[in-house]
Chain A
Amino acid sequence: QFTLKESGPSVVKPTQTLTLTCTFSGFSLTTPGVGVGWIRQPPGKALEWLAVIYWDDDKRYSPSLKGRLTIMKDTAKNQVVLTMSNMDPLDTGTYFCAHRLGSWFEPWGQGAPVTVSS
């Protein structure tokens, strides 16, 4: 059984850098084909894919946010870290990490709510 859980600050100030950690169990990011992605959801709005990292350290980012995003893995700790720089109130929302199953995302973590406010 795969489980994932997001952790990080619930409030950040504008212009600050957000650091979120996804801690997972039941699978390894050293296994070929495995990936972990990040997806966010502004309040009352649709899902937006942010980034994904694979077992071979291949990384892909959303072009609209590239330059602000960095994704990294720590295989020893079974963690994936996402940083997003220069936070803006428009970045407020719930941030999910998810196991990449083939080309799809399942399961997902419970989500981490983030509010950007001074």
Chain B
Amino acid sequence: DIQMTQSPSSVSASVGDRVTITCRASQDISNWLAWYQQRPGKAPKLLIYAASSLYGGVPSRFSGGGSGTDFTLTISSLQPEDFATYYCQQANTYPFTFGQGTRLEI
């Protein structure tokens, strides 16, 4: 299985801050990577697919980058509704695998 490792596991930030979360794959996955946001008690929502493509309706302050094994999710100016947990997911090879999550806290 491809292992997905996110860092940091948690991060504290303030409204208006710029935050970057990283995700590392244990082998080359090209750009077969997605980012999801999960608020407490809710289902995950797709933010970014194919490593850097913004899903429809997602605010432009979210951006993704990287390819191969190293990827980033950047939120350019944190808003109150962005405080949530973020997961990366690889879709290069079955079984699809998720990172362990990054909790973004105030």
> B-contacting residues of A (Cβ < 8 Å)?
37, 39, 46-49, 52, 60-64, 96, 98, 101-111
Q: Nearest Cβ distance between residue A33 and chain B, in whole angstroms?
A: 14
A-B contact pairs, 7 of them (CB 8 A): A46-B100, A96-B44, A104-B89, A108-B43, A110-B42, A110-B43, A111-B43
Contact status A49-B45, CB under 8 Å = no
Grouping DSSP codes into helix (H, G, I), strand (E, B) and loop, the A interface class, with mixed when no group exceeds half, is: strand
Contact status B91-A60, CB under 8 Å = no
Residue of B nearest to A61 (CB): B95
Residue of A nearest to B56 (CB): A106
A-B CB pair tally, cutoff 8 Å: 63
Contact status B87-A49, CB under 8 Å = no
A103 and B53 CA atoms in complex are apart in Å by 13
A103 and B94 CA atoms in complex are apart in Å by 11
Contact status B95-A46, CB under 8 Å = no
| 7 other A-B residue contacts (CB within 8 Å) besides A103-B50, A104-B34 | A46-B87, A46-B98, A46-B100, A47-B101, A101-B49, A104-B46, A110-B43
Chain A residues within an 8 Å CB radius of B97: 49
Interface size class of B (residues with CB under 8 A): 20 to 34
Given contacts A63-B1, A109-B43, A111-B43, contact A104 B98 (CB under 8 A): no
Chain B residues within an 8 Å CB radius of A96: 43-44
A96 and B42 CA atoms in complex are apart in Å by 10
A61 and B94 CA atoms in complex are apart in Å by 8
Q: Nearest Cβ distance between residue B94 and chain A, in whole angstroms?
A: 5
Q: Nearest Cβ distance between residue A62 and chain B, in whole angstroms?
A: 5
Q: Nearest Cβ distance between residue B33 and chain A, in whole angstroms?
A: 9
Chain A residues within an 8 Å CB radius of B32: 103
Chain B residues within an 8 Å CB radius of A64: 1, 95
Residue of B nearest to A100 (CB): B91
Given contacts A47-B87, A60-B94, contact A106 B101 (CB under 8 A): no
Listed residue (A47, A60, A101) with the most chain B CB atoms within 10 angstroms of its CB: A47
